[in-house]
Structure 1
Amino acid sequence: METPVIITKKAHDLFLKYGVRSVTMDDIATEVGISKKTIYKFFENKDALVENFIEEAIAENEESCRTFISKNNNPVVELFFTLMVAQKLYQDLNKPILNELEKNHHKAYLAVKQHKDGFIFQTIKTSIENGINKQLYQADVNPALMSRFFLESLLLISDTSIFSSTTYHTTTLSEEIFGHLISGIATSAGTNLINRYKNQHRFIRGTQTLTRPFWED
């Protein structure tokens, strides 16, 4: 593994574990086992490492969504999967990290915001539109409005000051809330489909892998 890759991997692990603000270049150098001077040969400053951290997190999120959608034609499963994958991203990029990005790493923060308001929003909206066309979601649902509501729900669920991880298991919480939200816009056909998956126990709990559906056809 090349040195820049090792540096970024260790930096990303530290950012996720301790938060962006708490991690220094000295911490990264110690963790990698190289001098800080060596890090600066590849990365101009901490900002560059933070931006790389965010870029990779966003790229992974987009790839997971695109890969799944390309292999699936069920809007109900697609919407649920998209929400769960996006929630995982915001679980990692928690509120303290986002606040630190907004305050001290504006370019990285802007990338997260653009990803949320662009890719995630459009993916949710397209899924809802497909569901309406297939009569799985109610015809009078406003796709843009509901997409925004779903999107903001992601941030709410990920906020541990509201839903403590010691009280609520994040994955179970997400599954329950997203399940109710999707059921709320479903037609009778959509509701029957949801219930069929649940009754057959084909609803895959957990986030062990984000490359397969949580509900399987």
Structure 2
Amino acid sequence: MDSKRLEITETALKLFAQYGIKSVSMDDIARELGMSKKTLYQFISDKNDLVEATINLACSQDCEAMAIFKRKDINAIEQFFEMKTLVEQFIGQYKPTMMYDLKKYYPALLSDFKNKQKDVHIEAYTSNLTQGQKEGFYHDDIDISVIARMLFAHGAYTFDDTNGLFTASELNNMNLYSEVFKYHFRGVCTEKGMEEVERLFCEDDEGNK
């Protein structure tokens, strides 16, 4: 992607995430970038083009984040804590308005994004579960194919801020993420795995003091 188009797309994604798609105009985006709307249209055809570009960027960012679960320089449980650290950097930045707007005005784009997200997440979780079994952290008798899909479904519903399961305040609190992690670990971890979980939570607590 052209560097200027990428800059525009990144700015638009930030504004859409904070204020929703419909309430952010092309004038707003041009103003945020400090450029004229005429210059903006040299890189973007129209708002529909920009919305599609932001969804593709979000998909790319999601792929990069989930690559944490394929890292071999850290163990399978450390991968979850790396993801937790990443989530902490962005928690509270995204509002449900963008998702509402996507569902209402861009359903095809949203459906495509969710399908890609499902494939990426299940593949990443499969890698994590396979590695964890080899390291002796996860039980040998778990069905990796089933658990990977359950992890995706659990995350997709639990952290969907449009379904009303948790309040915005709860979704913006890292305690919820910690509880979800604990719930998962208690289901798949061996005694050795739980010892590693406790070690990492202790380190996490010490680091937050």
- The TM-score bracket by the shorter chain reads 0.7 to 0.9
Offset of residue 122 of structure 1: 0.7
Moved more, 88-97 or 15-24: 88-97
How does the TM-score come out when normalised to structure 1? 0.75
Q: Where does 1:157-172 land on structure 2 (aligned, <5 Å)?
A: 157-160=158-161, 161-167=164-170, 169-172=172-175
Pairs aligned (count):
205
User: In the alignment, residue 53 of structure 2 is paired with which amino acid?
Assistant: N
Q: CA deviation at 1:130?
A: 1.9
1: CA distance, partners of 2:148 / 2:70? 17
What percent identity do the matched residue pairs reach? 24
- Aligned CA-pair RMSD: 3.3
Pick closer, same or farther for the CA change 1:188–1:103 going to 2, 3 Å: same
Provide the residue aligned with 1:14 in structure 2: 15
Change (3 A) 1:29 1:99: same
Q: SS state of the match for residue 166, structure 1?
A: helix
Partner of 2:25: 24
Q: Structure 1 26/197 Cα, relative in aligned 2: closer, same or farther at 3 Å?
A: closer
Task: Give the unaligned 5+ runs of structure 2.
Answer: none
TM-score after normalising by structure 2: 0.78
Asked if the contact 2:70/2:128 (under 8 Å) is kept, the reply is no
Counterpart of 1:34? Answer: 35
**Paired position in structure 2 for 1:76:** 77
**Offset of 1:123 from its aligned partner?**
0.3
Q: CA deviation at 1:181?
A: 1.2
| 1:13-45 per-position Cα deviation (integer Å, ceiling 9, x unaligned) | 211110122212232233334333332221111
CA contact (8 A) 2:170 2:176 kept: no
List gaps (5 residues or longer) in structure 1: 206-217
Q: Distance in 2 between matches of 1:116 and 1:24?
A: 27
Structure 2 residue aligned with 1:59:
60
